[in-house]
Amino acid sequence: MTDALADPSRELDVAEVRPTHVNLALLALAVGGFAIGTTEFVTMGLLPEVAEGVGIDIPTAGHIVSAYAAGVVVGAPVLATLGSKLPRKRLLLWLMGAFAVANVLSALANSYGLLMAARFLSGLPHGAYFGVGSLVAASMVPAHRRTWAVSMMITGLTVANIVGVPVTTRIGQAYGWQWPYAAVGVIALLTVLAVWRWVPFCPPDGGVSLRSELSALKRPQVWLALGIGTVGFGGMFATFSYISPTMTALGGFGRATIPLILALYGVGMTVGAVLSGPVSRVGLLRAITGVLATIAVMLFLFGPAVQASRGTGLVAVFALGFLPSILVPMLQTRLMDVAHEGQALAAALNHSTLNIANALGAWLGSIVLAAGLGYEWPSRVGGFLAVAGIGIALWSALLQRATRRVQPA
């Protein structure tokens, strides 16, 4: 399969902004990813505590995960498009400020309905922050390092699963599920300060308009890339949304070990994100298809691995974080490549679709669990979703090849 990045004429149309300290600028963006990753995944680690705290059962508590995901789905295209005329640094500051407020509201929620609403609001800035942040990160480095720069920003999200999620999960277990959300609010405020101090001024693209951003939605390759993210990642979220009861019920782990299990998942995510750049050198579509195939195999084996022994269960958890994280930066770059003048919207939509996958996975997992099937079933459902993602990737490759054949030399 060929790849868009092999054609120099297909490079991202982003203005280069070279700050004095690129690493500090990327760190500032990554701190925001850390805050987002912590709030997104800590709910999954505290699902039993949240369910007990607001008086619902665990399958219903899975809907709280879906509420956050729904906020991302709605907020990513709307906020990225409406903010396309703003300087990108200013937009990042506003997005992270709103994210801080919404997480404080989550901490103050005292009922299922209020918590659902607060989690929805918390999700609204998520996709737009990562989308705009990815464009800023890509603009600060040479073209051949774009996937690396994007992966470094996303590393903040993965490191959250090593440090942020386990620590806040332990805090939630010991002092109440509300405290992790309050902690995220503080981290978000620190992000505002870091972005203000280190990220350079990034003017909006002068040629960008609402119409040009929406033009990305007319491109079939954009929809296919979004489909890969939605279907391909649904399986991972179907499994991870119920990771706490799965590891205790199937693997015999105690609840006190869940923060360590989440940290292992985060280590896998971080290693995967770091390796994404080198893996992408074989060609984006080729790499995406290969990783999806490996994810499918891993998900089909996840339940048996957890049941077999604690050692194989831990290996499965590492793989659950490792393999999908290789895919995220590659999908982000693929979307920005095929969107042309609608890059801000497309980059934000990547995280929108990942959270459609989040909502889809949590919902499908709740269905099989509510039907009385065991905790090994969400990952089985996920395996079939990953296979469907492979089909979409192959469709995209065939369409790309056919398009290049008909283009004049």
CATH no. for 16-406: 1.20.1250.20
Average pLDDT over residues 29-50: 88
Backbone angles phi, psi at 284, to 5 degrees: -60, -55
Average pLDDT over residues 270-278: 83
Q: What is the pLDDT of residue 103?
A: 96
The first and second tokens of residue 349, run together, are 């939509």
Q: Render pLDDT for 99-128 as a digit per residue (tens, 0 to 9).
A: 999 999 999 988 899 999 999 999 999 888
Q: For residue 406, what pLDDT band results from cuts at 50, 70 and 90?
A: low
Q: pLDDT at residue 409 above 60?
A: no
Enter the pTM of the model: 0.69
What are the percentages of helix, strand and coil residues in the chain, rounded to 5?
Answer: 85, 0, 15
Decide: 124 and 102 in contact? Cβ < 8 Å: yes
CA dist., res. 401 & res. 357, Å (int): 27
pLDDT above 70 covers a percentage of the chain that reads 87
Q: pLDDT at residue 341 above 60?
A: yes
Q: Is 271 buried (19+), middle (13-18) or exposed (0-12) by CB count in 10 A?
A: middle
Q: What is the pLDDT of residue 4?
A: 37
3-state secondary structure (DSSP) of residue 281:
coil
